[in-house]
């Protein structure tokens, strides 16, 4: 071990109590990388305050139903500690630091820890496998703002995305196999595998966001590796507001399948690496209640990757590969995106796995 490395894990975060729900929502709805509209520099914060106040009670009910808070911090901390142990076992003098976008430990807190930690270099590692302006880019921009605010000036490298990393794919396949094993009296041919990702506005995709293509690439890689005989579907969830979002929705997909007699569903949250409100409530409570009304037979939800050993090794491999590389991964991903636009069958591959490390 030689140079001391800070590995900063980007994640969105979640409220750690019911009292934290409103300020969490305010931070989310005031994100300039997501809510960017004419006049947002003036109206953005008042509008975020109005929305968070009006959504508070409804959101608190959902968090109360899953234990009174989001589990995302505890689960991300498990990932962080496991990754640090793995990196140190591989000879990297690394300290992992969690930077949540919308709740504690906030990015500002993480930047201060890095500044005061005696580090020689920083690796930014998003816990978002697929690149999107609403996740990765938002976290990058917030990091830049907070690093400047606290006076942090260190060599910094980014891992932009890893939608088809073989170790992550392996972890997902194993989790899906676990979920298959929970069905009774139903073989793979009787089960529909429904891959669900968090949606984004269609305008993002039309402006060149690679997220949808990378979600599809993750699904392609997982299905190819798993080799199941089940029917496969890709859909999106968590729509907010009146804009057109990626479709079909998870709810519409489940209803269509069940009403057509395909009532054994295996839901795979393909863009989430920990359990949180979208998996525990939106899928496992809200969707399940609706599905039972449509005539659901069985529904299983793939457990999140959390600290699955193969996923932790995936993260470790990404960090060690990035330490050996140079250049700007975001611009390379943007070039890949531009090449793939209009060619829906063209896979979008992470450049840090495909030979450019």
For residue range 295-309, list pLDDT tens digits in order.
999 999 999 999 999
Structure tokens at 81: 């500690």
Task: Tell which wins on pLDDT, 272 or 242.
Answer: 272
pLDDT higher than threshold 50 for residue 348: no
- Over residues 70-90, the mean pLDDT reads 98
Q: Residue 346: which pLDDT band, with cuts at 50, 70 and 90?
A: very low
pLDDT for 1 equals 54
Structural domain contains residue 258: yes
180 in the same domain as 290: yes
Helix axes 21-29, 40-65, angle to 10 degrees: 140
Q: What is the mean pLDDT of residues 194-198?
A: 98
More confident residue, 293 or 345: 293
- Residue 354's pLDDT is 45
184 located within any domain: yes
What's the rounded Cα separation, in Å, for the pair 111 and 105? 10
353 belongs to a structural domain: no
pLDDT value at position 209?
A: 85
Looking at residue 347, what is its pLDDT? 44
Q: Show the domain range for 47.
A: 18-65
Q: Which of 286, 301, 316 is the last residue of a domain?
A: 301
Mean pLDDT confidence for 340-346:
49
In a domain, 111, yes or no: no
What is the average per-residue pLDDT within 21-40? 88
What does pTM read for this prediction?
Answer: 0.92
Q: 261, 284, 301 — which closes off a domain?
A: 301
pLDDT score of 207 more than 90: no
Q: Is the pLDDT of residue 357 over 60?
A: no
Look at residue 172 and tell me if it is in a domain. yes
Residue that is last in its domain, among 256, 275, 301: 301
pLDDT 10s digits, 245-268: 999 999 999 999 999 999 999 999
Tell me, what CATH number does 223's domain have? 3.40.50.1400
Q: How many domains does the chain have?
A: 2
pLDDT at position 331 over 80: no
pLDDT, residue 337, reads: 56
Give the mean model confidence (pLDDT) for residues 314-336: 78
Mean pLDDT of all residues in the chain?
A: 91
CA 183 and chain centroid, separation: 27
Distance of alpha carbon 77 from alpha carbon 129, whole angstroms = 18
Within-domain flag for 252: yes
The pLDDT tens digits for 139-154 are 999 999 999 999 999 9
Segment 35-54 shows an average pLDDT of 84
Q: Is the pLDDT higher at 329 or at 68?
A: 68
Q: What is the mean pLDDT of residues 316-343?
A: 71
In a domain, 260, yes or no: yes
Q: How many angstroms separate the Cα of 211 from the Cα of each of 41, 252, 273?
A: 26, 21, 16
Residue 356 has pLDDT above 80, yes or no: no
CA distances from 71 to 64, 251, 271, 272, 301 (A): 12, 24, 17, 13, 17
Q: Please report, rounded to a whole number, the percentage of residues in the chain having pLDDT higher than 70.
A: 90
Instruction: Tell whether 61 and 174 lie within a shared domain.
Output: no
Show the 3-state SS of 160-227.
Answer: CCCCCCHHHHHHHHHHHHHHHCCCCCCCHHHCEEEEEEECCEHHHHHCCCCHHHHHHHHHHHHHHHHC
pLDDT at 355: 37
Residue 330: is its pLDDT beyond 90? Answer: no
User: What is the reported pLDDT for 342?
Assistant: 53
Residues 60 and 174 in one domain: no
Q: Is the pLDDT of residue 293 over 70?
A: yes
User: What pLDDT, on a 0 to 100 scale, did the predictor assign at position 208?
Assistant: 78
Q: Is residue 333 part of a domain?
A: no
| Lowest mean pLDDT, pick from 30-44, 56-70, 105-119 | 30-44
């Amino acid at each position: 071990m030689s140079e001391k490395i800070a590995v900063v894990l980007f994640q969105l975060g979640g409220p750690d109590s019911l009292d934290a729900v409103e300020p969490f929502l305010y931070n989310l709805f005031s994100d300039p990388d997501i809510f960017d509209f004419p006049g947002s520099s003036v109206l953005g914060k008042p509008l975020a305050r109005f929305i968070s106040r009006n959504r508070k009670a409804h959101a608190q009910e959902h968090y109360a139903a899953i234990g009174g808070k989001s589990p995302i911090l505890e689960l991300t901390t498990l990932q962080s500690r496991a990754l640090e142990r793995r990196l140190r076992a591989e000879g990297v003098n690394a300290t992992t630091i969690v930077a949540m976008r919308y709740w504690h430990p906030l990015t500002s807190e993480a930047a201060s820890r890095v500044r005061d930690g005696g580090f020689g270099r920083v690796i930014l590692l998003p816990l978002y496998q697929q690149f999107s302006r609403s996740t990765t880019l938002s976290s990058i921009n917030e990091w830049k703002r907070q690093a400047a605010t606290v006076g942090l000036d260190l060599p910094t490298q980014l891992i932009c995305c890893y939608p088809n990393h073989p170790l992550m794919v392996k972890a997902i396949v194993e989790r899906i196999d676990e979920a298959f094993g929970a069905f009774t009296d139903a073989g793979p041919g009787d089960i529909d595998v429904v891959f669900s990702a968090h949606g984004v506005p269609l305008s993002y995709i039309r402006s060149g966001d690679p997220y949808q293509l990378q979600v599809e690439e993750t699904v392609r890689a997982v299905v190819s590796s798993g080799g199941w005989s089940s029917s496969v579907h890709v859909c999106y969830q968590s729509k907010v507001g009146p804009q057109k979002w990626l479709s079909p929705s998870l709810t519409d997909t489940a209803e269509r399948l069940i009403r057509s007699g395909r009532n054994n569903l295996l839901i795979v949250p393909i863009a989430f690496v920990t359990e949180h409100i979208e998996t525990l409530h939106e899928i496992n409570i809200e969707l399940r209640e609706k599905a039972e009304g449509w005539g659901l037979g069985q529904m299983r939800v793939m457990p999140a990757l959390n600290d699955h050993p193969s996923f932790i090794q995936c993260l470790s491999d990404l960090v060690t590969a990035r330490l050996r590389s140079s250049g700007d991964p975001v611009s390379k991903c943007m070039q890949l995106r531009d090449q793939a636009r209009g060619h829906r069958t063209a896979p979008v591959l992470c450049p840090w796995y495909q030979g450019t490390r």
